[in-house]
Amino acid sequence: MAFKLYNTLTKRKEVFTTFREGEVRMYTCGPTVHDYAHVGNFRTFVAQDLLRRWLCYLGYRVVHVMNITDVDEKTIERAKRKRVGLKDITSKYARAFFRDIELLNIERAEYYPFASEHISEMATLAERLLEKGYAFIAESNDVFFNVLKAANYGRLSGKTPKHRLRAKTVREDYDEAKHFALWVACRRGEDVCWESNLGKGRPGWHVECAALSLRYLGERVDIASGGEDLIFPHHENSLALCEAIAGEPYVRFFVHIKHLLWHGRKMSKTLRNYHTLGEIIKKGYSPREVRLVLLQEHYRRHLDFTFEKLDMARAKLKALDELLSMPPERSGGVRGEIRAAVQRMRSRFIQAMNDDLDVETALSAYWEFITEMREARLSEDEIKEVRHALLDLDRVLGLVYNAG
């Protein structure tokens, strides 16, 4: 069965194909390091980790880029409020982010470019868009992208340029005529600015991901991914920028992850209903238990996070650990029914994962198999075969590890 993946761009599941045979070029939007990431953020990152692991399991070479946003309104405002330098804020929370992904056993991307280290590429991209006629300089000396010049603007989100008249966001400066900022000129009293051919200023949010994607992955990307709230305006806008430069379709698949909920509402800092990984660990839960809760429901459905689910995850992981360390109860080879059970579980798991990462069905087969094997009187050879099957599939799940 071929791997099928839901594509936000086409609004349907499609057989997964890549621009380059055997290689996946994947860009995922990373954290804004103005504060600690919460488990709602990590729902997205764990789902993306599952996708990456499945692609590797299928034999693809994955080149993964995740940006770190360390220059934007939130980071600048936090530094001002704390009366410290921008780097003091962003370095602290970037270190915390990398510590948390290690605790959650999220595989490292090949590249983690920091926005602040690529300002020149972003300014250059804005210059190129000016030269190609896609951008203009406003009276404020800000450089804006003209969405009316973009071919097929709105095909990802369904929001045409007319929708931009009503678009509101705290993360970007918009003028009255629907356009969005590529380069924001430095205002009086501002000190977080860079010199460029466009004048002293800083990049807009959307140009960040466009410039970094083009820099590290070239003019074709197989997968672009983020939370569902990034579809518009961020992914719509960054796609328009990349295609204005590339002159052809830039992203083959867009993959968006539904929000994590807390008591039925989106977990967010704005609503003050969030929990960080550190807070949950202090309550006595392990990162493994958090990882299992975050990955065990399909990425295109909202996940309601509860401590009861963490308790259930603890019981399941205990059963897995006990089976992996179980001593043999008898001698002998591998019985036909045990080998058949292993093959049946693997087949169900692989079939489910090939169907748009249906991890719920895959894990159902996985836990049923664990229950069945714990009740069987296994020989030494059978235990070896069972362990091999479970650890092989754990290359996808990432549940068997020590989190300290």
Q: Does 185 fall in a domain?
A: yes
pLDDT in tens, 308-344: 999 999 999 999 999 999 998 888 899 999 999 999 9
How many separate domains does the chain show?
A: 1
Q: Does the pLDDT at position 386 exceed 90?
A: yes
Q: Does 166 fall in a domain?
A: yes
Residue-number span of the structural domain to which 44 is assigned: 20-262
Please give the share of the chain, as a percent, with pLDDT higher than 90: 84
CATH of the domain at 198: 3.40.50.620
- Looking at residue 164, what is its pLDDT? 52
| pTM (predicted TM-score) | 0.94
Q: Does 218 fall in a domain?
A: yes
Q: Does 280 fall in a domain?
A: no
Q: Does 361 fall in a domain?
A: no
- Looking at residue 173, what is its pLDDT? 41
Q: Does 118 fall in a domain?
A: yes
- Looking at residue 253, what is its pLDDT? 98
pLDDT in tens, 152-180: 899 999 987 765 544 443 334 444 346 89
Which pLDDT band, with edges at 50, 70 and 90, does 305 fall under?
Answer: very high
Contacts of 352 (CB under 8 A, 6+ apart): 358, 359, 360, 361, 362, 365
- Looking at residue 381, what is its pLDDT? 94
